[in-house]
Structure 1
């Protein structure tokens, strides 16, 4: 007797690539799903989700889960690929970001199915490795996707990534560093790009740049936003100040205890302390990114002079914070102690499927670097 074949029920969800027709719903999903922590925030992408993804590279994909019954998008994640330095050599490097899942769909199989979909995308062979950053307060993500669960790619912990907000308070004394600090220009751009690439090659996962990227790819960033250290007619260090509020926003949703009780008192004392005011729930943060950090020989004096000049120029503007990212082993990190900081951090992971594990185990000891502006 032949046993009858019982067809398996079709899944309630479709996992597929989003299209521009999904843009409005994707932006709404980001607004509804804050990143937890002592300060809960939403990372928003108004007015165009897809346009905001382009700062991570020319190639990106947006994966979504869709409820068949309602047609509603239940979750999303992005995959982007751009040239970066791995062991000092330029190669395509992937970046995984924007993982969100509506609360009522958590705890099921959607995460596993989503990663199965990602693995199928990965088979295009565009990259062997990915990086991703999980914020320290996101305990759910740290306990699930980064825990080595069956069916998920391997998340290799690469250490802490500090991404504090430098509180824009009062003017600080200028720093002498035996160099001139200039603003960027198209005349200096070739030397700026050379400085970025020779120093990024000393870092693990740092982006590789071309002149054309600074002419068209970095939305909202112009060459005049660079601060350039010049010594003996040579560019020896750079950093950029990047305001992305026209296409990316961070909004405060709420404060966990004890901050919830402390914030009103801290704000009341602000006129005396000069500290930036804690935003009210629902308020957008006023900040810019310190990006494109590169300093020859990791010279602390040069970095101090660049950062101090950028900081002082932000005094009496609308900005409350300047946000940057440095790895826990970065030799430039001690300079941040000279500033009042609003702490924020996460864990950096290198993500591999089977085909990338050999390359991962060959990674040398270079200090990782990721651009905070592309989180």
Structure 2
């Protein structure tokens, strides 16, 4: 019978961590795997400035069979900058499930939190019944998972342009290189909800967590010489990818015909089994006064430029109560629901810095 040891991962474990990511499929009508190639740790900088990865190793085979990551960065909580943690990549090899490994990972995370207590949050897909059952159930000695909201994740289908939407006095365009500081300032000023990342221009410089996002990847609406709306189109495929492992039977049947049509029209094609799905994120969405008309015009402008690119989908995630959500929902898209949790390890002596449950959240999905 297997026994397990738990420790913090190091660079030498990178290959096994990547193998673990590739092996754990997200099941559904279409099965996908979320991968981090060519380097697990390099991709992890997206999630935080400091990343601690716990690995559970089978002592018989020496293989990594369980993982959990704790990423630390600065976010906004109750209107002020604060260090906080994100829990992610909690995975257990299918062959080793039902042996209490998830609980042991949570105990190890609790130990990390006890040495550096921080407000902690996590995201769980609504249809991930295994994770919801094993992580959020109330058990003695385990952290409390308190849901504080939810996201609607839309995979907007690209490829077909729509008529542009023009507004008097509003210019729609890509940001210029010298405008990055102004864009960062605008985002920090208009994304003040709990868990919003606090951005700095240095984040976009080589080695920064957003260094794969360039100024020209930001689409901006400009009014009176100043930005009034921002949407970033962020292709993270050089760091992490989603691979199609199995199509649903209807989609597998129609894939050859669709790809022939896409080839004729010069559009992105559905990948073969095991290949990467061409997609990007619509990230850092901010609109002054939540103006839906400006948002609609900028989204249309962004969509039409991306339709000319190599992507099948643009992934956008908004709070369920976001007034801008109907603007994005007007596009053909696949929908997913994500639950947002605060994870309380009960190790903070002072809880005055805990996020207010009444405050609106602003989790950036592209950084999770």
Q: Give deviations 1:20-45, integer Å, cap 9, x for gaps.
A: 00111111111111122333211000
Pair 17,300 (structure 1): closer, same or farther in 2 beyond 3 Å: same
Is 1:253 the counterpart of 2:255 in the alignment? no
Counterparts of 1:147 and 1:286, CA distance in 2:
36
Aligned counterpart in structure 2 of residue 159 of structure 1, from 149, 154, 158: 149
**Measured at CA, do residues 224 and 262 of structure 1 come closer, stay the same or move farther in structure 2, by a change above 3 Å?**
closer
Work out whether 1:350 is the aligned partner of 2:339: no
Matched, 1:40 2:36: no
Paired position in structure 2 for 1:223:
215
Go from structure 1 to structure 2 and tell me whether the alpha carbon gap of 1:149 and 1:279 turns closer, same or farther (over 3 Å shift): farther
Any unmatched runs of 5+ in structure 1? 1-10
Q: How many residues align?
A: 359
- Specify which of 162, 182, 194 is matched with residue 172 of structure 1: 162
Task: Give, in whole Å, the separation in 1 of the partners of 2:332 and 2:126.
Answer: 20
Offset from partner CA, 1:314-362 (integer Å, 9 cap, x none): 1232110001111111111010122110222321111111145945876
Cα deviation for residue 162 of structure 1 reads 1.3
Contact 2:194 2:355 in 1 (8 A): no
SS in 1 for 2:156: strand
8 Å Cα contact 2:16-2:64 kept in structure 1: yes
SS in 2 for 1:188: helix
Q: Is the 8 A contact 1:37 1:138 kept in 2?
A: no
What TM-score, normalized to structure 1?
0.89
Q: Are the equivalent residues in 2 in contact too, given 1:48–1:247 (CA < 8 A)?
A: yes
Residue 287 in structure 1 maps to residue 279 in structure 2: yes
Distance of aligned partners of 1:137 and 1:279 in 2 relative to their CA distance in 1, 3 Å threshold: farther
Structural RMSD (CA): 2.3
Residue 260 (structure 1) shift: 2.5
Summarize deviations over 1:53-91 as a string: whole Å, max 9, x none: 011221111110011222111111110011111122111
CA shift digits 1:186-207 (9 cap, x unpaired): 3212221111111111x22111
CA distance in 2, matches of 1:185, 1:124: 43
1:320 equivalent in structure 2: 312
Distance 1:303 1:68 in 2: 54
Structure 2 unpaired stretches of 5+: none
- Give the counterpart of 1:365 among 358, 363, 366: 358
Preserved CA contact (<8 Å) 2:148 2:357: no
1:77 aligns with 2:68: yes
Taking the aligned partners of 1:354 and 1:126, their CA distance within structure 2 comes to 9
- TM-score normalised over the length of structure 2: 0.91
- In structure 2, relative to structure 1, the CA distance for the partners of 1:360 and 1:310 (3 Å cut) is same
Of the three residues 264, 270, 273, the one matched with 2:253 is 264
Match of 1:5 in 2: none
Match among 99, 115, 119 for residue 124 of structure 1: 115
Contact 1:167 1:276 in 2 (8 A): no
In terms of Rg, which structure is larger? 1
- The offset of 1:263, in angstroms, is 4.8
- Which residue matches 1:300? 292
Tell me the residue number matched to 2:194.
Answer: 204
Matches within 5 A, 1:4-43: 12-43=3-34
Secondary structure at the residue paired with 2:108?
Answer: helix
Quick check: 1:36–1:137 contact (8 Å CA) kept in 2? no
Give deviations 1:142-171, integer Å, cap 9, x for gaps. Answer: 111022233321111123311121000311
Distance 1:369 1:266 in 2: 37
What SS does the aligned partner of 1:326 have?
strand
Deviates more, 1:324-333 or 1:343-352: 343-352
Q: CA deviation at 1:265?
A: 4.0
Q: Which of residues 300, 321, 333 is equivalent to 1:341?
A: 333
